[in-house]
Amino acid sequence: MQHDISHILTDLIGDPTLLHHVRFASCHSPAPALALQVDFPRLEIVLEGVVEDCAAPALQQYDILYVPAGGWNFPRWQQPATTLSILFGKQQLGFSILQWDGVAHRNLAKQHVARRGPRIGSFLLQTLHEMQMQPQEQQTARLIVASLLSHCTDLLGSQIQTASRSQALFDAIRTHIDEYYALPLTRESVAQAFYISPNYLSHLFQKTGAVGFNEYLTHARLEHARQLLKGYDLKVKEVAHACGFVDSNYFCRLFRKNTERSPSEYRRQYHSQLTGKTVTPE
């Protein structure tokens, strides 16, 4: 079966007949040793197989177990089964798919998403919590669970869109730097060009590019410097200025730090490789 959490949720929502019984774990009796107990509500959904649980009757495929905040469940894996667990934390939702193959457990997927916007999920959880007093009202319980799953899907979709927009913005900024590397670019000037704050610009580079703005700018300038040294008979000072370095001495120090050669040594070594000659380092 597929292990994409968004697709699984979409399938469960799209076919109402998939959701079977909604069970309710106890929140009153003391939790036995090794039981699963956290301070936030959870949904446990059996995707494949059957799961025995001390907190409820045996859970068949597409049965749902609602575990209230502070409640517990104690699954007993007696045959191969796969479950989807959704934890409703205060700041984020946690999704995990766990499989028991008869010998060992495997985490097939894990994902988190921030809880944003109207507290729709909180209202639905409170309604489901109150349904514990009327567990026989299965149709209503299934509708509430389906609404919760739909809410989860919306949050996951929003996360994907946000990530996509961030990536597109980061790519545009990187292209801008690659094109205008020779200008006196600063974090502030680039942020202003894209109508964002300097702090958000730094956040984009750290999160999306895994490298800081200044590091990327330096990398872009040095990369162009290498191309100039290879293809043009320019003085080192001219190469430095053409790549946005005001101080040629600073350029030389940076170049050596990144290539373990001075610009002149780099050029001579490159040309020696073309002609097959050996160059003696300075």
Domain edge (last residue) among 125, 145, 161 = 161
Of 4, 123, 20, 109, the C-alpha closest to 63 is: 20
Of 51, 272, 73, the C-alpha closest to 280 is: 272
Residue 113 lies inside a defined structural domain of this protein: yes
User: How high is the mean pLDDT of the chain?
Assistant: 87
CATH of the domain at 174: 1.10.10
* Residue 46: pLDDT over 70: yes
Q: Are residues 191 and 146 in the same domain?
A: no
More confident call, 178 vs 119? 178
For the chain, give the number of residues: 282
Q: Are residues 140 and 170 in the same domain?
A: no
* Residue 172: pLDDT over 80: yes
Q: Residue 196 is which amino acid? A: I
pLDDT tens digits, 250-280: 999 999 999 899 999 999 888 887 766 544 4
How many domains, in total, are found in the chain? 3
Residue 281 lies inside a defined structural domain of this protein: no
CA distance linking residue 187 with residue 197, whole number of Å: 9
Q: Are residues 113 and 185 in the same domain?
A: no
Q: Are residues 227 and 87 in the same domain?
A: no
Residue 19 lies inside a defined structural domain of this protein: yes
What was the pLDDT predicted at 27?
A: 67
Q: Are residues 52 and 135 in the same domain?
A: yes
Residue 280 lies inside a defined structural domain of this protein: no
CATH of the domain at 244: 1.10.10.60
Domain that holds residue 234: 215-275
> In the structure, what pLDDT confidence band is assigned to residue 114 with cuts at 50, 70 and 90?
confident
Q: Are residues 173 and 62 in the same domain?
A: no
Q: Are residues 23 and 157 in the same domain?
A: yes
What was the pLDDT predicted at 277?
A: 53
Q: Are residues 219 and 81 in the same domain?
A: no
pTM above 0.75, yes or no: no
* Residue 281: pLDDT over 80: no
Q: Are residues 98 and 226 in the same domain?
A: no
Q: What percent of the chain has pLDDT over 70?
A: 93
Residue 173 lies inside a defined structural domain of this protein: yes
What was the pLDDT predicted at 239?
A: 93
| Bridge partner list, 98 | 83, 107
Q: Are residues 71 and 135 in the same domain?
A: yes
